[in-house]
Structure formats: C-alpha cells, structure tokens
Chain A
Amino acid sequence: MSLDRPFLTVSEITRKIKLLLEGEFPAVVVQGEVSNLRRHTSGHIYLTLKDEGAQIAAVIWRSRAASLSLIPEDGMKVVASGRVTVYEVRGQYQLDISGIRPLGLGELQMAFERLKARLAEEGLFEERHKQPLPVFPHRVGVVTSETGAALQDILNVLRRRFPGIEVVLSPARVQGAGAAHEIASAIRDLNEHGNIDVMIVGRGGGSLEDLWAFNEEEVARAIFASGIPVVSAVGHEIDYTIADYVADRRAPTPSAAAEMVVPDRRAVLERVAGLARQLGDVFRDDLDARREAVRRALSSYALSRPLDLLRQYSQRLDDRTRAMTLSLRHTFEMAASRLEGLHARVSSMDPGLALRRGYAIVYRDGKPVSGSGILRPQDRIDVTFRDGIARSTVESVEPS
C-alpha cells in the first residue's frame, strides 16, 4: 500500500521543488505579453507574463525596477530575462526579472524615445561632457564581438592607416540577452586596466532588435562614466542608438570609427617631411644671411686671411648640413616608398573588400577557415557576411 511509504512534510517537498526549479532555471529568457501589472507601494512590480497557452507570475524587485530602460505596461509584448524562484510560504513559483526589453518595433521605438528623453534630461548627452580624441593614440581599445565582421573591419583600417599601434580587444557579445551587461562590463574593464588612449564600442549592421543592447541604459552609463574617450560605431550610417548620443564621438560604421581614432600616417609623414624640408631651408637661409653680413663687413678691410678662415668654416658647415640633408631626404624617400608598397599589399589582402563584393568568410572558434579540409560534420561555424553572421552547423564535407 503506497500510503505506507515514508512521507515528506509540505516543507520538505516544497524545498525539493525549490531546489529542482531554481537549479534548472538559473538564467532564462522568456517572451510573453504583460498582464495584470501591479506596482506595490514597496516599489516592487508584480506582473504576469502570458501567451495563448500559459502564464507565469513574475516580479521585478524595486532595486532593479529603477534601472530598467523599459517601464512595462499591460498588453506590452516583452522579452524578459531572469531566473525562476520558488516562494515557499505560498507554494508559488515565479520569474524573478532582472532585465526586460520590448519585443516588436513600436515598443522598441517607444522605449528608445523614453530612455533618450530621460538621459537627455539628466545631461548625459551634453557637449561639455565630451572628451577630445587623442591625436596619436598608442593603444586603442575595442569593445565588440570577437567573431564579428566589425572587429575585422576595424583592424583592417587601422593596419592600413596607422599600424604602429596596439589594439586591445575587450570582447563582448553584442546581441541577445545579457549583451548590454557584457558591453558595459567590457567598457569598465578597459577603464580599470587603464593605459588605453581611446576606445571604439560597436558592432556591424543589423535590425533594431539586433542593435538593441546599444540602446540600454547600462551601456549608456558605462560610456558616460568612461575616463577613456569613446567612439561609438553601431550598425550603419542611418542607425542612431543611445550609445551614439552619449559617446564622445559617433562614427557611422566600425570602419569609420577606426579612421577617426588614428591619423593617416601618409599625411603625418608628409607633415614631418614638410617640417624637415622647412628646417633645412630656414637653416640655409640663416647661414646665407650670416655669410652675406660678414662678407659685407670684411670687404672694406680687404683682410684676406680672416676671409679665408671664414670661407673654410663656411664650407665645413655646408658639407655638414648637406650630408645631413641628403641622408634625411633619403630617409623620407625610403619611408614613402615603403608605405606605398605596404598600402598596396594591405589593400589587396583586405577581406572587407571581398565581403563588400558579396563573398562571405567562414569562422570556426573565432578563426577564419581557409579550406573545407579542416572542417568536420557537426562543426559549428559562423558564416560572416558584410552585414551579419549566419551561425551554422556543417552537415557534410565533400572535396571539390
């Protein structure tokens, strides 16, 4: 008879259920419609998430409610992230929401406008907070996905324009649940590590949903708090995000951001060469003027001996400066021709060109795949296009 079996107290079974549920769902992302939303006087928000077939109770604790970019309302379709918790006293399980974002364009747009207005009100976008970018950065920080096309675009432009620098990647997922937190953490990490002159924060193009992390408050706050100047580079020319408004400079694309943070070294080389030329000219003019003055002073006395001395001295000077000028010119000619050769080589290697022509690059574990030979069935690969990534699995590999 089953009733003879050892029994559990209500507390014991609830305890087991709690362990089971909370162990199974420590981090979930749930999509649903908000209903039955109640704001308690304590500041906590209670609501129900539902779809056609089911519903789940949910709570947003006061401490989190304050920093949400979205104030949910009944009827709103949302994506909520959090964990499942069991409230033992009432024998209920609920979703403890830590992040919530709207689903659907209208709602996204509304949340965007609301956060933008709030941060503008606080003064986060004001010109007086903008930091100038360094002219010659030594270390450039980059916050983006390590497998995305944005990183490659940025590296290509930096290599072409001013390769003598160090790039520090602070990797972050740039879309999906938790992306905003990762981006904000990556920005804070670069600041904590220090020794970075300027940073680029961004990703390649995508839908409004894809870019959403850059519209979240945590990212905006991290950019605002950054002591390192931030260049935002999210999506394409036409995409404006909250991050763009807070950043010290906004770049229309990741490539454009890279162009913004380093000077074109050919232009710099020209400037240096120009200064060197000017230096030589000024110095020669100066010498000529001195010679002329002495000659005039001496001519009336017809003192041949001192004049000889002066001529010798003058000739020594000339030899010395000519040698310096010649070797300097040589230096600049060498530098210029090496730059030309390099530029041609780098341009022809630029995978961005291929991407722009409609080809795709295949990555596995973040490394470009150079041939089908190294792939195995079931390998997870990222097919990177100019405008996004298709995450894929290899079905079979056949040599051509």
Chain B
Amino acid sequence: MSPKRAPANEESFEQSLGRLEKIVERLEQGDVALEESLRLYEEGVALSRRCAEKLQQVELVLKRLERDVDDNLKLLDDDTAEA
C-alpha cells in the first residue's frame, strides 16, 4: 500500500505498456523461433496483468508541500481535504 516507491513503479507502468505493445508487434511480424515466441507470450501476459493491477489501485494520496520554520520544504500527509 505504501506509495513511497511509486515513482519507479509509475515509470514502469508506461514502460510496461510500451513493452507490451512491442511484444505484440514483434509476434505479429512472425519469423520468431518457437521458444522465443513462447517466452514473449509469457512476458506479455505478465505485463498486461501488472498493468491491469496498477489500474485497480483505488487510493489517491494527498500531500501538502509546506515550509517549516527554517524555511525548508516539507512534504506532509494531508488530512484536511479528506472528508
């Protein structure tokens, strides 16, 4: 549930989708060895499942950017705007 490591995660959503497209393209071209073709298919299945899971994430995380007394920027969890 922790969104902390999410930047890498998010990048990988875009990348996963791009990689999935590449795989479908590659398989459509044909002339892939059987083993390679099977490997690509399995990778594609894993990728599309990962994408679908990411899309089911339901929590929007709200944070506030504020300056503390020493004028340093701090990212705080926000509860004010959550009903």
Contact = CB atoms under 8 A, between A and B. Distances in A.
A163 B59 CA distance: 6
Contact of B21 (A164, A275, A290, A339): A275
B45 A279 contact: yes
Contacts of B68: none
B49 A151 contact: no
Contacts of B21: 275
Q: DSSP majority for the B interface?
A: helix
Query: Looking at chain B, what size class is its interface with the partner chain?
Result: 35 or more
A276 B83 contact: no
A269 B28 contact: no
A265 to B, nearest CB: 5
Highest count of chain B CB atoms <10 Å: which of A138, A272, A325, A334: A272
Contacts of B81: 146, 151-152, 155, 169, 366
Highest count of chain B CB atoms <10 Å: which of A278, A289, A334: A278
Interface in A321-353: 321, 324-325, 328, 331-332, 334-335, 338-339, 342, 351
Contacts of A139: 7
B36 to A, nearest CB: 11
Given A189-B67, A275-B48, A158 B60 contact: yes
A338 B52 contact: no
Interface string B16-37: 0100110110011010101001
A136 B14 contact: yes
A154 B3 CA distance: 20
Nearest to A139: B7
11 contacts: A159-B60, A163-B59, A164-B58, A168-B75, A169-B63, A189-B65, A275-B20, A282-B27, A290-B34, A324-B42, A335-B55
Contacts of B54: 164
Contacts of A171: 64-66
Interface stretch (A20-28, A190-198, A245-253): A190-198
A163 B28 CA distance: 34
A152 B81 CA distance: 8
A189 B73 contact: yes
Interface residues of A, number: 60
Interface in A279-332: 279, 282-283, 286-287, 289-290, 317, 321, 324-325, 328, 331-332
B37 A169 contact: no
A279 to B, nearest CB: 4
Contact of B61 (A167, A193, A338, A368): A167
B34 A268 contact: no
A273 B17 CA distance: 11
Given A275-B20, A367-B80, A342 B48 contact: no
A390 interface: no
Contact of A272 (B17, B34, B64): B17
A136 B13 contact: yes
A266 B66 CA distance: 34
B56 A339 contact: yes
Contact of B56 (A138, A170, A275, A338): A338
A5 B63 CA distance: 62
Given A164-B54, A166-B3, A276-B44, A136 B10 contact: yes
Contact of A169 (B3, B45, B65): B65
**Nearest 6 interchain pairs by C-beta:** A164-B57, A138-B10, A276-B48, A366-B80, A282-B27, A279-B44
A152 B80 CA distance: 11
A158 B62 CA distance: 11
A265 B52 CA distance: 10
Given A139-B7, A164-B54, A283-B37, A169 B60 contact: no
Highest count of chain A CB atoms <10 Å: which of B13, B44, B48: B48
A149 to B, nearest CB: 11
A244 to B, nearest CB: 23
Contacts of A271: 17
A332 B52 contact: yes
A283 B42 CA distance: 10
A3 interface: no
A342 B53 CA distance: 15
B48 A168 contact: no
A117 interface: no
A317 B73 contact: no
Contacts of B27: 279, 282-283, 286
A290 B32 CA distance: 11
